Amino acid sequence: MPSLEPILIGTVFAIAFMLSMRFNPRRTDDTSHALWVLVLHDLCGRHFGRLVPTPQYRIYWSVRDSLHFQDQDPDVTMPDSEILEVIPDFAILLFRGVLSSTTVRKTFMEVLSKFRPTSYFHNNLRVTACFIPLLVELKRPVSRHCSDIDQFMDGLSKLMGNARMQVQSQVYMPSSSSVNHNSDTYSTKAECLFSTPKFYRQSEVIVIAAVGDWWCFRVSKRSHFIVGDGFKFFNYPEEVEIEWEKEEVSDQLLAPAETQQMQLVMKNEESKQDRIKRLNKERDERANQRQKRKEKQQEVYQEWCDFIGSLGNDTSFTVRQMNKYSRLRWNWDDEWRLRVPQQDNFIQPDLPRDRINLHDYHDRPSGLMKLGSGRSRRHLDCIRMFLGPSDCPWLGG
C-alpha cells in the first residue's frame, strides 16, 4: 500500500468532519476551519514558520494608534470608539525584524543558529514590518442533499458571492462619507488593508473566498486602491503635481468653423413632418429590438428549464453541466449576473501549471475550484510558489 502524506489524510478527515451530521448538524462555517488550516499550512510549504497562518487576526485603522502611538502607555489598553476594523477568518502573516539589544553583537543568523527551545530571544527582537500576503474568508458549505442542480448552483453562488464581497472589503475601504455608521455591516465593510499605516509597504495581497471545499481567488493590488476621505497621506507613490494648460480666452462666442457648421445645420434642418416620421421610425426600431431581446430571453430561459429537467434529480454534476447552467442563466437573470462576474467559466478552466499566471486575476476573480481536483491543486501550487521563492517580494531582502 503506498504511503499517504499526513496532510492529505487530515484533509480527507476534515472534509468528512465538516459534512458530518453528528458533529456539524447546523452546517456552520466554523467546522471548515480544520480543513483550511491544513490548506494554509500546505501553502506555506518549507517557509512555514516565517509564513504564519493566523486565525481571526484583526485588521484595523485607528487615528489614535496611527498618529499618537508614541504617547501611549504600553501597559494600558485604551478603548477606541472610532476604530474601523474587520476580522478575516484566516490570514498568513510574514514578519521582519532586527536585533534591538546593544548587548547582542551577533548577526541575526548567528543567533538563530544557536537558538534553543529553552531560551527564547524575543526580548532582543524588534519587529520592524509585517506583511499579509494572503487573506481567507470562509462560508458554510452548501446543503448536503440538494434536490437538483438549480438548488445546488443557487446556494453555491449566493454563499460564494457573500464571501467574495466580504474578503474584498477587508482589502479596499470605501470612502468614509459613503459608510453608514448606523448600519450593522459597518464594522465588516469599513476596514481596508491598504488604508492601514502598519501595512503601507505592501503592494498586493491574494484573497481567497471559500464555501466549504469550494474556493476561488483574486490578486488585489494597491494601485487599484481608491483612497478614502482623509487618507490621502497613505496613497503611495506620492502624488505628482500636474500643470494644467492655460485656456486661451477669445472675444468671439463661436469660432469661424463652428459658425459654418451651424449654418450648414440650419440649411439642412428637417421639416416638422420629416422629424415626426424619423422619430416614429426610431421608436418602432427600439420596440422591435426590445421584442427580439425578450423573445431571445424567453428562448434561453426555456432552454435553461429544459436543461434542468433533463438532469432530473441527479445530484452529481460535471464541470460541463455546471458551466452550461451558469451560461444559460447568465443570459436571462439579472441577479445571477451580479453574483457571477463572468458569463463563461463558472468553474475555473483546467490549465497546465505553466500557463497559470496569477497576475491575470488582478481585475477579476478566478472561477470556482473544488479542493482535491487537478485544477485546484495546480492553482494552489502557483500560489505556494508566489508565497515562497527567495526572490518573491514577501521573503526577499
Question: pLDDT (tens digit, 9 = 90+) per residue, 6-63?
Answer: 888 899 999 999 999 999 999 999 999 999 999 999 999 888 988 999 999 988 877 7
Chain position carrying cell 477568518: 89
172 three-class SS: coil
Give the model's pLDDT for residue 330: 93
Contacts of 141 (CB under 8 A, 6+ apart): 18, 19, 27, 29, 32, 211, 212, 213
pLDDT band at 313 (very low <50, low <70, confident <90, very high): confident
Which is more confident, 359 or 261?
359
Of 354, 379, 353, nearest to 366 (Cα)? Answer: 379
> Does the structure show a pLDDT above 70 at 3?
no
> Does the structure show a pLDDT above 80 at 80?
no
Integer angstrom CA distances of residue 136 from 88, 178, 184, 218, 310: 6, 25, 22, 11, 37
301 three-class SS: helix
Query: What's the whole-model pTM score?
Result: 0.77
CA angle 208, 213, 215 (to 5 degrees): 30
Q: Tell me if 213 sits within 8 A of 372, measured CB to CB.
A: yes
Give the model's pLDDT for residue 46: 87
Residue boundaries of the structural domains of the chain: 6-72+79-238+348-387, 257-340
CB-CB neighbours of 325 under 10 Å: 23
Give the model's pLDDT for residue 104: 52
Give the span between the Cα atoms of 259 and 257, in whole angstroms. 5
Residues 123-160: tens digit of each pLDDT: 777 788 889 999 999 999 999 888 899 999 999 999 99
Mean residue pLDDT of the chain comes to 78
Query: Which stretches of 19-106 are assigned E, i.e. beta strand?
Result: 51-55, 59-61, 84-86, 90-99
Least confident of 99-108, 204-213, 292-301, 354-363: 99-108
Residues 230-246: tens digit of each pLDDT: 333 333 333 334 343 44
Give the model's pLDDT for residue 253: 58
* Helix boundaries (H) for 47-148: 63-67, 108-113
Give the model's pLDDT for residue 60: 81
Q: Please classify residue 123 by burial: count the beta carbons closer than 10 Å to its beta carbon, then call 0-12 exposed, 13-18 middle and 19+ buried.
A: exposed
% of the chain exceeding 70 in pLDDT: 70
CB-CB neighbours of 124 under 10 Å: 16
> Does the structure show a pLDDT above 60 at 382?
yes
Contacts of 50 (CB under 8 A, 6+ apart): 94, 95, 395
> Does the structure show a pLDDT above 60 at 225?
yes
Judged by phi (left if over 0) then psi (alpha if -120 to 50, else beta), residue 215 lies in beta
> Does the structure show a pLDDT above 90 at 303?
yes
> Does the structure show a pLDDT above 50 at 178?
no
Give the model's pLDDT for residue 42: 93
Integer angstrom CA distances of residue 222 from 63, 136, 195, 199: 21, 18, 10, 11
Q: Find the mean pLDDT for residues 291-305.
A: 90
Of 274, 333, 349, 266, nearest to 298 (Cα)? Answer: 333
Which is more confident, 341 or 25?
25
Q: Tell me if 60 sits within 8 A of 191, measured CB to CB.
A: yes
